[in-house]
Structure 1
């Protein structure tokens, strides 16, 4: 249930458009009221027709069909149907609009968050898993809000309205309906709690499959060179089997909710029909009210069944939401000490002054590193793989923070310099060239958006 509760964190995004949202809720309420009045209105017509027929059969003087009354009832019934149709249209229009705007804002927040995350986060998380959170997990939340949220609210309001009408028509059967609802809710909750861990496992397995696919596609050439196609296929099969097993188990467990709730609802349906039928025979309940009672119990039954069928989508969205907000909750780079900037024209003096670095205090990789690079010098850093050559560059760019000592550029401590300002003064050529899907000119201009055409050609 903890993951499902994570869905409440979507509310701040929806709240930005609360005007449209509450109009949508008002339209849902209109749908519920017009749908809820249907059995009652039909009951009036059935009662009138039944009484007219009985009077005619019994030969009551002046007995006939009261077409004027029946016509008025049918006119009201038609108006009710028109309002119901309009309510459904506008509820979908407003709620869907709010959801899409909210998801737009959520995706933007994720994009902004990723720009503020330290490089260490991307080093410690697989790219495919991050992509899964940003794409499929956000889409799962969006689909739930678009396709499931409105019917769930509608179902809850429908149950409340039906209970009110049952109390007004025949309060004695209320205890039967409430017993049915309590049993259905208890069983549903138990099944949902049983299935929630598997839904979480499914979303994690999907993220792992994304990560594996991304790695295989990125390293396709290396995989071919070393004849690892078979090994790659086996890894994918294993991961796919894990996802399939988790998805099948999750679907099975959530699928148990519907038959259990339907059984309890059907039992209540039968009992209410029997009790009310006896009251009709005794003359204490009209035939129209019997029809209305049965229909209201049926509406409650349908609402509970509909919501139980959506439990799988809710659990999936809850697990996906937890993964999305886990990303948004990650600690960002600390900018609190960034009060200085490098000179506009940097000479290029670089000093490592008793630098100590490690990914944690328990794992020191560099200790008491001291050297100085004078302006204009060309320096090669040579060493075996894993010696720390790339790490030195990462420290200068402040992709990681040192544990002790100082790194200075032109006598300025870079720990106090804005990362953006620092990186504007450093040119970096990666071992593997990375090109964006754009023109060559735009790829060259990537580091300086203000670069002129002449500067691009000279580069």
Structure 2
């Protein structure tokens, strides 16, 4: 596929989505290459919120402390209840259960749990603010970076890949900051606090619980290691499947026309089977974590109960302490499991952050000139002086190109597919910078101008229509900011579009769908011409817009384009050579070089490449003009 065809394809794919899977689903395709460096860089985004994070930490500690001390206080109520029952059973005179004490304890517990929940809510509230502000800044940075990246970055990557990094990976970071960070804080505080409380009850029983901990860690680590490769396969298969589904839905008409449904379904089944195999293995293996944890914990419970019973009999501890200790054992095992899972999530998040930072570290467009020049009264003289260019440094496509176009001239660019026609336009618009030489507009080097100022000089009507999911009025008004209703209607009339717009049910308020398929191809082109009329550019670029419409519509479009080109410098990429016979200059390109230059009559008289190209369109022996 030629480079210019790839560029055109990228324009056609501009509005495609990034996929259908939920953000952050599964594991990333690869681990972070530089875990520490990426983690440090990500932490830098949290630095402006250090006081809020300290407040989050404080509320987490307070909430957890209230939750931790509760079992020991409850144990006192259990002990008092047990003692009262035992004395009554022994027939001690005046023995009774101290319900007042127990009621007092219950009120204290209710207060502690309410305070714990309140501080937990406050923690989540503050962390939500920190997480969303951090991700907002990161998204903003990515958005601004994408606007500064050169066209070659987007040409060399799929739109799905770029959107996946800008949307899914950023969402993955957001979810981790919002949920996993608070879970990690509370888990660590809980583990430390529970160990302290268990030690205060019985160092011996605490030792038993801690001895079972390495078994849990080893079990979780082994399971996580085995599930990792399946999660990686799941995410890879999901990305492949998303790409296929997206491609088939956006091109469903073409797949039906060429009878590709069966092959598409077979391909889908194959990809879906791969995703199924990876997904069920990943989910099944990772699902073993909790049962194994519960098994190991139950062994701990048995040992704690046995040793605790012996200690009670020896009056080393009270009966309520065993109940409190068992609760602490349960509280201890849950944050340990959570910490292990969060470690896996953080690994995934750092990999996502690394992918986002790769975008932020991409080489940007050549910086704007320190003292940019501008053109006040544009005449439209264009010159290419000794221009050389290649998409790759070692593969020069255009070499020593020299073109001089006078103001108001209509210049047609013709040649076979891959000749470099679109490349020439990309250089003129400064989507790419030349390797050497210079391009001048009215004697001003475009490299010395701001890109926005340069591109404001041009109006474009392309073979692929650029319309948006909005009203017809807004699509036309895209040509000029703050255009009035009168100006919009006048532009539509000049483009022969006003009549068909008024026949639509909602007229200028008709909303175009995402692919603008609710109007015809010819109507789309008339709207893009109306947009160019409204923009009133000094220089026009026309990628012949009549190749996919009927003869009658072509006449209307051609008239609108001729009206638009009056007294303007125009560059026309020609596919039908019969439409550019009246051009002031025809540039014949092949393999990145202008091999012939002149008027239609002059080039036919030469009887060379252009004459062969022109005659081939009428003899049926096409030279693949595109």
User: Match for residue 116 of structure 1?
Assistant: 148
- Structure 1 residue matching 2:412: 3-state secondary structure: coil
**Is the aligned partner of 1:442 residue 2:474?**
yes
Q: In the TM superposition, what is the alpha-carbon distance from 1:151 to its structure 2 partner?
A: 2.9
Q: 1:189 aligns with which of 221, 226, 233?
A: 221
Bigger mean CA deviation after superposition, 345-354 or 175-184: 175-184
- Structure 2 residue matching 1:434: 3-state secondary structure: coil
**Is the aligned partner of 1:411 residue 2:443?**
yes
User: Match for residue 238 of structure 1?
Assistant: 270
- Structure 2 residue matching 1:364: 3-state secondary structure: coil
Structure-2 change in CA distance of 1:207 and 1:137 (3 Å): farther
- Structure 1 residue matching 2:422: 3-state secondary structure: helix
Q: 1:34 aligns with which of 59, 62, 66?
A: 66
Structure-2 change in CA distance of 1:453 and 1:67 (3 Å): closer
Q: TM-score, normalised by structure 2?
A: 0.67
Contact 1:34 1:83 in 2 (8 A): yes
Report the Cα distance in structure 2 between the residues aligned to 1:291 and 1:155, rounded to whole angstroms.
22
Contact 2:231 2:279 in 1 (8 A): yes
Deviation digits for residues 85-134 of structure 1 (CA, Å, limit 9, x no counterpart): 32333333333343334333333333222222221121111122333333
Contact 2:39 2:350 in 1 (8 A): yes
**Is the aligned partner of 1:44 residue 2:99?**
no
Contact 1:352 1:408 in 2 (8 A): yes
Report the Cα distance in structure 1 between the residues aligned to 2:478 and 2:52, rounded to whole angstroms.
40
Q: In the TM superposition, what is the alpha-carbon distance from 1:437 to its structure 2 partner?
A: 1.4
**Is the aligned partner of 1:432 residue 2:467?**
no
Q: In the TM superposition, what is the alpha-carbon distance from 1:62 to its structure 2 partner?
A: 5.0
Contact 1:42 1:288 in 2 (8 A): yes
1:21-420 matches, within 5 Å, as 21-60=53-92, 63-308=95-340, 316-335=348-367, 337=369, 339-420=371-452
Contact 1:7 1:317 in 2 (8 A): no
Contact 2:368 2:451 in 1 (8 A): no
Q: In the TM superposition, what is the alpha-carbon distance from 1:408 to its structure 2 partner?
A: 2.1
Report the Cα distance in structure 2 between the residues aligned to 1:187 and 1:344, rounded to whole angstroms.
73
Structure-2 change in CA distance of 1:400 and 1:206 (3 Å): farther
Higher share of residues assigned helix: 1
Structure 2: 5+ residue runs without aligned partners? 1-30, 492-532, 534-626
Contact 2:297 2:333 in 1 (8 A): yes
Report the Cα distance in structure 1 between the residues aligned to 2:270 and 2:354, rounded to whole angstroms.
25
- Structure 1 residue matching 2:385: 3-state secondary structure: strand
Q: After TM superposition, which residue ranges in structure 1, 4 or more long, deviate above 6 angstroms?
A: none
Deviation digits for residues 49-83 of structure 1 (CA, Å, limit 9, x no counterpart): 22333334445555443334333222211211221
- Structure 1 residue matching 2:312: 3-state secondary structure: helix
Q: In the TM superposition, what is the alpha-carbon distance from 1:429 to its structure 2 partner?
A: 1.9
Report the Cα distance in structure 1 between the residues aligned to 2:370 and 2:238, rounded to whole angstroms.
39
Structure-2 change in CA distance of 1:304 and 1:262 (3 Å): farther
Q: TM-score, normalised by structure 1?
A: 0.89
Report the Cα distance in structure 2 between the residues aligned to 1:159 and 1:309, rounded to whole angstroms.
15
CA RMSD of aligned residues (A): 2.9
Q: In the TM superposition, what is the alpha-carbon distance from 1:358 to its structure 2 partner?
A: 1.6
Q: In the TM superposition, what is the alpha-carbon distance from 1:169 to its structure 2 partner?
A: 1.4
Q: In the TM superposition, what is the alpha-carbon distance from 1:259 to its structure 2 partner?
A: 3.2
Q: In the TM superposition, what is the alpha-carbon distance from 1:312 to its structure 2 partner?
A: 6.4
Structure-2 change in CA distance of 1:448 and 1:79 (3 Å): same
Report the Cα distance in structure 1 between the residues aligned to 2:149 and 2:163, rounded to whole angstroms.
15
Report the Cα distance in structure 2 between the residues aligned to 1:288 and 1:72, rounded to whole angstroms.
16
Report the Cα distance in structure 1 between the residues aligned to 2:60 and 2:460, rounded to whole angstroms.
57
Contact 1:131 1:210 in 2 (8 A): no
Q: In the TM superposition, what is the alpha-carbon distance from 1:251 to its structure 2 partner?
A: 2.3
